[in-house]
């Protein structure tokens, strides 16, 4: 049978490939981003209570109201910005579904979508499946900063969406207030929608701040913010997230969402809502992950890998140019097979022709795992 693929050049995501290779070779898996420690027993108890208390049928299409109220409270508390639970917040099956549904709801054939490379890998296929044209702009290395003059030249009447992601996966950089103001200025008086992927909002280190799109009034008017409970609750397998946007945008989103998943896992939504009534559950995350980043970086400070400490997320990029000339995709495989440590090559987040010698390591791991991983890296 002839199959007319909608994504002829797309293979299996690097996260699946590297995790499978790590398992096959019994390697420490610092590739795919997920914690290897257990999450809160209180949270598990609250989810279990929700099941016992009958939250087992379809949740409302827009999400459990208690959870939407908890999210409204969070944005008021952290960003002094109100999203109405009734019509400006929707609970989704992870940030991935929110991202896919936002793109499906707004991108028509031949609409252009600006995104920044290296980019998280689910953006571009979603644009293409919906007939849109990705316009990839490269962040300037080694700091992974946006060239705003370049962005200005690429914004045309065809630009329908700009996708941003801070704190940034895979590089661990955090956008400044000036970056956000520049984006606000360049999109002012346009109909461009901004998809601001903020799944790592609670993981920002040192004296940096997360500048959410909702902080900037004109940006907020055109923005969807996407978030993931997989990150904030250390439970990536639960696949629950949400998105926020002004009512007019959210109304369009829900037209697609209702036929995409309709609604998501009800008892977990209720359990998460109860858990979030204590804001420390998300406010303590930066300190928690900073300790892990610092432990890992102190332990490898004498190794031959070079690095700038990650500013946010739970990823650290290491430069191996002192060690070998191999391409990152090949070196990542060899490290997994021979040295028993798995990472993610950064070139896959570009167009794969990139020759930078950089790998991404996930430090959302037990201290014991980080110590073992560092021992391996120091011997290389
Ligand atoms: N965006 C980014 C930048 C991510 O790193 C991830 C993956 N963790 C997602 C979106 C998807 O999140 P989820 O697992 O909630 O679908
Ligand atoms: N977001 C995770 C990462 O960057 C992976 C998610 C996935 O495997 N799809 O590692």
Is any atom of ligand 2 closer than 6 Å to the C-beta of 232?
no
Helix (H, G, I), strand (E, B) or coil at 36: coil
> 127-135: which pairs have CB atoms within 8 A and are 24 or more residues apart?
127/103, 128/6, 128/7, 129/6, 129/7, 129/104, 130/103, 130/104, 131/107, 132/103, 132/107, 132/108, 132/160, 132/161, 133/158, 135/159
pTM for this prediction: 0.97
Alpha-carbon distance of 310 to 314, in angstroms, equals 8
Q: How far is the CA of 34 from the centre of ligand 2 (A)?
A: 7
The ligand 1 site (C-beta within 6 Å) comprises: 33, 94-96, 120, 165, 169, 197, 199, 228, 230, 236, 241
292 alpha carbon, distance to own chain's centre: 19
The tokens describing 254, both together, are 């829900």
By alpha-carbon position, which residue is closest to atom 3 of ligand 1? 169
Per-residue confidence (pLDDT) for residue 354, from 0 to 100: 79
Q: How far is the CA of 95 from the centre of ligand 1 (A)?
A: 5
Q: How far is the CA of 380 from the centre of ligand 1 (A)?
A: 31
Per-residue confidence (pLDDT) for residue 9, from 0 to 100: 87
Q: What is the mean pLDDT of each run of 10 residues along the chain (380 residues)?
A: 92 93 97 95 97 98 98 96 98 98 98 97 97 96 94 97 98 98 98 98 96 97 98 96 98 98 97 95 95 98 97 98 96 97 95 84 98 97
Query: Ligand 1 pocket check: which of 231, 237, 239, 242 to mutate, most ligand atoms within 8 Å of Cβ?
Result: 231
Alpha-carbon distance of 74 to 198, in angstroms, equals 14
């Amino acid at each position: 049978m002839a199959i007319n693929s909608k994504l002829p050049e797309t293979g299996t995501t690097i996260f699946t490939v590297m995790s499978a290779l790590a398992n096959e070779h019994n390697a420490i898996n610092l590739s795919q981003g997920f914690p290897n420690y257990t999450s809160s027993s209180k949270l598990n108890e609250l989810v279990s209570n929700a099941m016992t208390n009958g939250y087992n049928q379809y949740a409302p299409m827009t999400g459990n109201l208690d959870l939407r109220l908890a999210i409204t409270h969070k944005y008021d508390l952290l960003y002094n910005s109100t999203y109405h639970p009734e019509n400006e917040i929707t609970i989704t099956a992870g940030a991935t579904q929110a991202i896919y549904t936002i793109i499906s709801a707004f991108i028509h054939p031949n609409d252009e979508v600006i995104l920044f490379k290296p980019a998280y890998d689910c953006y571009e296929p979603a644009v293409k499946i919906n007939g849109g044209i990705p316009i990839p702009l490269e962040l300037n290395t080694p700091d992974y900063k946006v060239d705003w003059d370049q962005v200005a030249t690429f914004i045309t009447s065809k630009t329908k969406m700009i996708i941003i992601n801070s704190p940034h996966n895979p590089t661990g950089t955090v956008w400044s207030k000036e970056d956000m103001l520049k984006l606000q200025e360049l999109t002012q008086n346009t109909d461009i929608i901004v998809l601001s992927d903020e799944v790592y909002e609670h993981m920002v280190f040192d004296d940096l701040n997360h500048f959410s799109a909702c902080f900037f009034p004109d940006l907020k008017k055109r923005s969807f913010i996407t978030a993931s409970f997989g990150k904030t609750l250390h439970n990536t397998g639960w696949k629950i997230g949400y998105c926020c946007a002004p009512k007019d945008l959210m109304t369009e989103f829900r037209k697609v969402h209702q036929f995409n998943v309709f609604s998501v896992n009800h008892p977990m939504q209720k359990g998460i809502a109860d858990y979030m009534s204590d804001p420390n559950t998300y406010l303590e995350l930066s300190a928690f992950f900073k300790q892990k980043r610092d432990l890992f970086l102190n332990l490898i400070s004498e190794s031959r890998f070079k690095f700038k400490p990650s500013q946010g997320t739970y990823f650290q990029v290491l430069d191996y140019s002192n060690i070998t000339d191999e391409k990152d995709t090949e070196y990542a495989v060899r490290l997994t097979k021979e040295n028993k440590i798995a990472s993610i090559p950064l070139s896959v987040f570009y167009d794969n022709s990139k020759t930078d010698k950089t790998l991404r390591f996930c430090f959302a791991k037990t201290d014991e795992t980080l110590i073992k991983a560092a021992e391996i890296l120091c011997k290389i």
